[in-house]
Structure 1
């Protein structure tokens, strides 16, 4: 290590030229780094979505979901597979062990799906997106849409949809880096709804309506109603005719006006900010084109732009890091009282950061909230090595040495110690390999970034700082005073502590034990919210409510939102019903509402607003308006949320229930729902098993069907007409661009008699065939969705955790789960969601911290060759916990994953002060001083470098901790609070408690004097 400094001093200008070149390369690499919201990691999860228009949940389960389940279950590394069968759609969600090669898994699933024979009525591509059906969707943390637009204006929804598909989507798909562009809403049809009773009374079949409508052209809904079916019957006699959302699609509005949502996704390897900016530029061209084409009333509005949050967060973090760096330099100036020396430190900070970014680029990391937060946290620490190098140069100059001698001999004195300290700090991050789950994936890039910055700072301190010192530091400086202000403050306190050792130790012990009692008060959490504030209004109407009726209720909600007099409430976007799209499918997987009786209204809030307060105010208005469904059948709930993490919310509680018998699942779900209602901190508790509707159940009697086939029934024609009767059929005819669609008639039957009396075929034979002639047909309550976990019938109980202390709410919920599981021995209940991730993360982080402490202890023992000194030095670790926990309490943050990461960092940071102090004390004792004299003299000598390194680290973290630039980067803020508080308490107490403990163990040390002190680290 000393050789590097020697080369830098003797080849000063070459060192400076190499540094300049390195700066240029690093700036170039930094500018080319991808900018993301979160690290670009692949989750060990995948989703298969299959669309089967018109199919019931039971049909979906048996004919679509089960075959997909079997394919997915045959892949390696699988932990759990969940299938959700909905009307029109199957969603199969698979979770794998971390470390599983998901590319191979997804390829195996796609090969398996190619061998499955799906129902004939299931399309090969999804109508709305032209994507393959079924489609495999690998999940990536950066699968958050890059940009979401809404196309709205004074046109009909189908006209907006046409404009979106012809003038917007093709243009956006051409942008480099765009993976897909999909739409939501605007897909209207003219819906002809046959009424079973009227159809039976007049002997009309669905096939007759389809055939009659195909043969005509229409100018109005009335024309369709007057279409003759026979000499005495027209369409209006047996069916309703109205314009509505196409089956399997949702109704969307923006600020109360009809709209079409346009969702833009990027390729995983593409740069979020670059893609978003290019998409935004393309949107400007599209707007100009719309205006040129005469669509003045049509607006292409930007609902969500991920790049805005990413850029603002990166800007805030960067600004806070710069402010922290400036404050750190000012601290150096206060201690050294030299502009030139402070300038050297000012140069070393950005240089270390730039080199760190260069290594990040080589390693393939991205700039995101975690890596940039890590760099902001590192700002205070990366100056330590340069401070120690500069301080030893100045100290030797004060003693009268020449500048070159001071630099070279100073390097010889401290090169190995600072290298050992840096390597020890870096080694602290090795245990992160034990931290699995999403937190491990997120914080490994964080740890790598800090590692690169620290290693860069070590290189800079050993080369650039000595080279610059030769240029900027004066050749000679006046001798240093023996009693600086910080020594005058510290020396009396140290002497008092050494004279009252029992009191000093007792105070430290009381503070530590007392800090542990803060943990229940602070509470525990997971990952803090990320993203801009927003609200979501969830509307649930009584079962069976159609889209039109639900939409009218949503309009009343929209009216209330319009009346809200708050500058924080901006654009709002309504979605009525469930779409058979990726978005609709993932909503079902994440526990969102599904069906024509459900809707959501997403409300964008201004940055810095309080979503909880705004949500409470809006909820009060809605409740006062009395528009929620009566008798407890549904409801309207307003939730505060944020736009980050792509739906991986940290306040969702999930419990999975599975059993061989569905009756057992139902019973356990009912009991668990009731039990969780007693848990404080849980709200909006739902079970997805209680949703049932009277549904036609039809089973073909093959013997009866065979008889009619023997009479000349065309089997293919029969099955086609049966499918149309059940699921509806397109006609090819249009009205103002909307296709005429004849809905299935079976849903309108109110009794088994009406259902059985429906005519299927009255053309190929001399007599009409009714449904009862070929099938057993009844109307029974059936679930609107069917869930299976690991190929067993299952249910999901979800809740929103409203308490800050997520851990306490989870523990209470687990107790209820244990009680329910005990009373239902045939049922397995597994807690999931944030609770599962928290449990795994805290356990693994605890192991990581213990391993880090073990690594530190080993390094200290090897360095001092003294077990006793190592034990004394390790006492500084619990002293750090005092300030860390107190800091969280004062800041109002719970103990979460980022705070635990701060605890891990503290292990490497706080030991340095104790090592620096005791290394010199041992050397002074070896030179003949008494223990008391060595402790006082060592403390007086080491107070300056200890305060300089500690204060620069702490003050550099202040901007991050208090969020000077905003509130969006809570991950860095929580971590900074922990490190700042922990370093503050450990530094103050280390300067007093460590000498006291050293003094108390002096008698033990004298029994084995020579060996323990014969080889100690060089004094820093």
Structure 2
């Protein structure tokens, strides 16, 4: 038997799940595209109002860039916190070690369940090898570096730093705690410095420059978001100054060299004056012999005064014991703990970090403070700002210039291909929407403007332009067919609906893992996603409206010439 006529054209539904899914998707997508076509017709019917309002919203959205804040590279979650501790000046190495142990216990109490291990290094590195390969701000026995290893490698270290700053300052008054970058990217960008902002006071007059640096530190600490503001060099390290009296010394046949040699031998050992080695005949090994007074016996000013001073003149027959206190004046003074030089002259480094605020905002306030303190600066001093923050200006200028240069180059390239100045202009009208989308995506995700974000903006310009080319090129073809600009715009939008969505969706889906991750490139993914979302809307609605506005007002002869 033959089937009824109305059933000849029907086919049985496929049992293949993928085919059924494809047909269902195509059916719903066609409905979605038809709905878009109806909306596009209504929008083009009111194109003048739509273009004005949409362009105004896009331009106003660009003002969000001024509220985002500026960073060079974003800080990422990490499993390591690098902290520096500076005890009161003059603290002995063994006391600093015990203090570091107490601080380690306090850190575990302040971060319960978060700390896996703490490694502390106190005092100066031993030998030039360690000093070269272990970048550290330690300058004396009172300094300790603490590396805090966290159990979670994706920990919000900025929250932990805030907790430690408050808790440790309350428990250990008089001890400074500062934090250095722990991730490799920040260390490289800082050029090994402990902070992203390095204010350098350079000049020949050390003490006036140091007092001026202290005034700057007081001003910097009042800046919102500025933390860990310290002067790297110290000028008040407790020191016993021994000044020999030549007159008294010559009277008893003792020179200043005799006083210095005997003092060094007593306090530091004979290896500072005359290195003597003993050869073990059984093994052939040489051992350095160091003779010095036990430290428990050198525990007061009086023990320094009673140091015996022998004469280096072997021909002298004067064997009477002379004491250092009879030949020299001993006074307690504060001296530089370390002297740093820049261009031969003494240099002071003021380190400033940013926390809870963008680096660009803190840097701007630092520059304002330095400028306002110009009248108090010593005449021979120079103040310069270095570090990661100083490079941020050049990087931003280059990237922003590159962004507009990319737009201009893309426009000129399209002009060459289209042999028209007008159609390329219509194509790039989607780019304000891309910039607005970037601004909104960064603003809503609380992401600051950074170098990766600007790189993502440049990437977005290319994809947004490519989608606009699809729409305008097809509208151009349809305009040559029937000469109706409005109809050509509607046909271009509905026909190019699928490729535009597929191109944008593929790029967006590829950026989702990057945007949701914790890497430094997360702002790049967020900028691309936000820019393409809004740029796609502009391509499907705004660009056809602009095309219809421009070509519907032109006479047919001009349309043919422009095409």
TM-score normalised by the chain length of structure 2: 0.80
The residue that corresponds to 2:523 in the other structure is 974
Distance apart, 1:834 and its partner CA: 2.2
C-alpha spacing 1:1012/1:769, structure 2 compared with 1 (3 Å): farther
The residue that corresponds to 2:154 in the other structure is 608
The worse-fitting range, judged by mean Cα deviation, of 556-565 and 894-903 is 556-565
3-state SS in 2 of match to 1:683:
strand
The residue that corresponds to 1:766 in the other structure is 317
> Residues 138 and 144 of structure 2 are in contact (CA less than 8 Å); yes or no, is this contact kept in structure 1?
yes
C-alpha spacing 1:587/1:823, structure 2 compared with 1 (3 Å): farther
The residue that corresponds to 1:1012 in the other structure is 562
Of 984, 987, 993 in structure 1, the residue corresponding to residue 533 of structure 2 is 984
Of 189, 213, 219 in structure 2, the residue corresponding to residue 675 of structure 1 is 219
Distance apart, 1:589 and its partner CA: 6.7
The residue that corresponds to 1:647 in the other structure is 187
User: Does residue 380 of structure 2 align to residue 814 of structure 1?
Assistant: no
Q: Which has the larger radius of gyration?
A: 2
The residue that corresponds to 1:596 in the other structure is 141
Distance apart, 1:830 and its partner CA: 1.3
User: Does residue 537 of structure 2 align to residue 993 of structure 1?
Assistant: no
3-state SS in 2 of match to 1:655:
strand
The residue that corresponds to 1:517 in the other structure is 63
Deviations 1:939-975 (A, max 9, x none): 1211111111111111222222123xxx3x2x23211
Distance apart, 1:558 and its partner CA: 2.8
The residue that corresponds to 2:201 in the other structure is 657
Deviations 1:566-615 (A, max 9, x none): 3321011111212145686469976x243111223221112233323444
Task: Find the aligned partners of 1:522 and 1:714 in 2 and give their Cα distance.
Answer: 65
What does 1:861-876 correspond to in 2, within 5 Å? 861-876=415-430
User: Does residue 114 of structure 2 align to residue 568 of structure 1?
Assistant: yes
In structure 1, runs of 5+ residues without a counterpart are 1-332, 339-479, 1014-1020
The worse-fitting range, judged by mean Cα deviation, of 691-700 and 509-518 is 691-700
C-alpha spacing 1:805/1:615, structure 2 compared with 1 (3 Å): closer
Task: Find the aligned partners of 2:125 and 2:469 in 1 and give their Cα distance.
Answer: 62
Deviations 1:137-183 (A, max 9, x none): xxxxxxxxxxxxxxxxxxxxxxxxxxxxxxxxxxxxxxxxxxxxxxx
Distance apart, 1:900 and its partner CA: 1.0
Task: Find the aligned partners of 2:466 and 2:230 in 1 and give their Cα distance.
Answer: 52
> Residues 80 and 153 of structure 2 are in contact (CA less than 8 Å); yes or no, is this contact kept in structure 1?
no
In structure 2, runs of 5+ residues without a counterpart are 1-17, 281-286
The residue that corresponds to 1:899 in the other structure is 453
Task: Find the aligned partners of 2:111 and 2:201 in 1 and give their Cα distance.
Answer: 44
Deviations 1:330-370 (A, max 9, x none): xxx99x949xxxxxxxxxxxxxxxxxxxxxxxxxxxxxxxx
TM-score normalised by the chain length of structure 1: 0.46
3-state SS in 2 of match to 1:484:
helix
Task: Find the aligned partners of 1:516 and 1:997 in 2 and give their Cα distance.
Answer: 21
Task: Find the aligned partners of 1:681 and 1:712 in 2 and give their Cα distance.
Answer: 59
What does 1:434-833 correspond to in 2, within 5 Å? 484-530=30-76, 532-561=78-107, 563=109, 566-581=112-127, 585=131, 592-605=137-150, 606-618=152-164, 622=168, 626=171, 628-629=172-173, 633-635=174-176, 637=177, 639=179, 642-645=182-185, 647-648=187-188, 652-696=196-240, 724=265, 727-730=268-271, 742=292, 759=309, 761=311, 764=314, 765-767=316-318, 780-824=333-377, 825-833=379-387
Distance apart, 1:999 and its partner CA: 2.1
The residue that corresponds to 1:847 in the other structure is 401
C-alpha spacing 1:883/1:714, structure 2 compared with 1 (3 Å): closer
Distance apart, 1:691 and its partner CA: 3.5
3-state SS in 2 of match to 1:742:
coil
Deviations 1:197-218 (A, max 9, x none): xxxxxxxxxxxxxxxxxxxxxx
C-alpha spacing 1:483/1:903, structure 2 compared with 1 (3 Å): closer
C-alpha spacing 1:661/1:499, structure 2 compared with 1 (3 Å): same
C-alpha spacing 1:505/1:540, structure 2 compared with 1 (3 Å): same
The worse-fitting range, judged by mean Cα deviation, of 579-588 and 612-621 is 579-588
Task: Find the aligned partners of 1:749 and 1:779 in 2 and give their Cα distance.
Answer: 14
> Residues 122 and 141 of structure 2 are in contact (CA less than 8 Å); yes or no, is this contact kept in structure 1?
yes
> Residues 523 and 807 of structure 1 are in contact (CA less than 8 Å); yes or no, is this contact kept in structure 2?
yes
C-alpha spacing 1:647/1:641, structure 2 compared with 1 (3 Å): closer
The worse-fitting range, judged by mean Cα deviation, of 606-615 and 675-684 is 606-615
C-alpha spacing 1:919/1:744, structure 2 compared with 1 (3 Å): farther
> Residues 906 and 983 of structure 1 are in contact (CA less than 8 Å); yes or no, is this contact kept in structure 2?
yes
3-state SS in 2 of match to 1:601:
strand
What does 1:262-341 correspond to in 2, within 5 Å? 337=22
3-state SS in 2 of match to 1:609:
coil
Task: Find the aligned partners of 1:880 and 1:679 in 2 and give their Cα distance.
Answer: 35
Let me know the Cα RMSD of the aligned residues.
4.1
C-alpha spacing 1:1010/1:823, structure 2 compared with 1 (3 Å): farther
> Residues 751 and 779 of structure 1 are in contact (CA less than 8 Å); yes or no, is this contact kept in structure 2?
no
User: Does residue 482 of structure 2 align to residue 933 of structure 1?
Assistant: no
Task: Find the aligned partners of 2:108 and 2:330 in 1 and give their Cα distance.
Answer: 48
Task: Find the aligned partners of 1:922 and 1:482 in 2 and give their Cα distance.
Answer: 29
Distance apart, 1:899 and its partner CA: 0.5
> Residues 755 and 771 of structure 1 are in contact (CA less than 8 Å); yes or no, is this contact kept in structure 2?
yes
Distance apart, 1:798 and its partner CA: 0.9
Task: Find the aligned partners of 1:514 and 1:914 in 2 and give their Cα distance.
Answer: 22
What does 1:96-107 correspond to in 2, within 5 Å? none
Deviations 1:278-327 (A, max 9, x none): xxxxxxxxxxxxxxxxxxxxxxxxxxxxxxxxxxxxxxxxxxxxxxxxxx
Deviations 1:606-661 (A, max 9, x none): 2233323444445555456x3x14xxx433x3748544337347763211111232
Distance apart, 1:811 and its partner CA: 0.8
C-alpha spacing 1:862/1:482, structure 2 compared with 1 (3 Å): farther
Deviations 1:72-108 (A, max 9, x none): xxxxxxxxxxxxxxxxxxxxxxxxxxxxxxxxxxxxx
C-alpha spacing 1:696/1:927, structure 2 compared with 1 (3 Å): same
The residue that corresponds to 1:177 in the other structure is none
> Residues 304 and 324 of structure 2 are in contact (CA less than 8 Å); yes or no, is this contact kept in structure 1?
no
User: Does residue 498 of structure 2 align to residue 944 of structure 1?
Assistant: yes
